[in-house]
Amino acid sequence: MADYIVYHKCTAGDIFDLLAIEVKAPGKSSSSQLQNDLVKTGKDMKSFIDRLATSGVYKPKVHDLFVDGYTCTTFTMQLIQDDAYLMQE
């Protein structure tokens, strides 16, 4: 799971995760670890999308901020059709 999560709490009490933030200290990750982190990020984002879609959200979209030392990368994932996800850097 991400280090931080920004979410929205609906009036009905449901909580929807919208933004995941993953932070790595400078010099703490290798290139193979970065690939594993990218896979983990994609899986987290997919679970956020699935929860939104199951709750009836039209065209769900979620975001991720990945901070590796002094470098930041943002990702967006959206559901483009049933069981088809688009993740963009």
How confident is residue 11, by pLDDT bands cut at 50, 70 and 90?
confident
Q: How many CB atoms lie within 10 A of CB 28?
A: 10
pLDDT per residue over 57-68, tens digit each?
999 999 999 998
Tokens representing residue 16 in the block: 């929807």
What does the mean pLDDT of the chain come to?
Answer: 89
Q: Stretch 8-24: mean pLDDT, rounded?
A: 90
| Annotated domain spans of the chain | 4-88
pLDDT at 83: 87
Q: Which tops the pLDDT comparison, 77 or 37?
A: 77
Structure pTM?
0.82
Q: How many CB atoms lie within 10 A of CB 18?
A: 14
| Dihedral pair phi/psi, residue 72, rounded to 5° | -115, 135
pLDDT at 75 over 70: yes
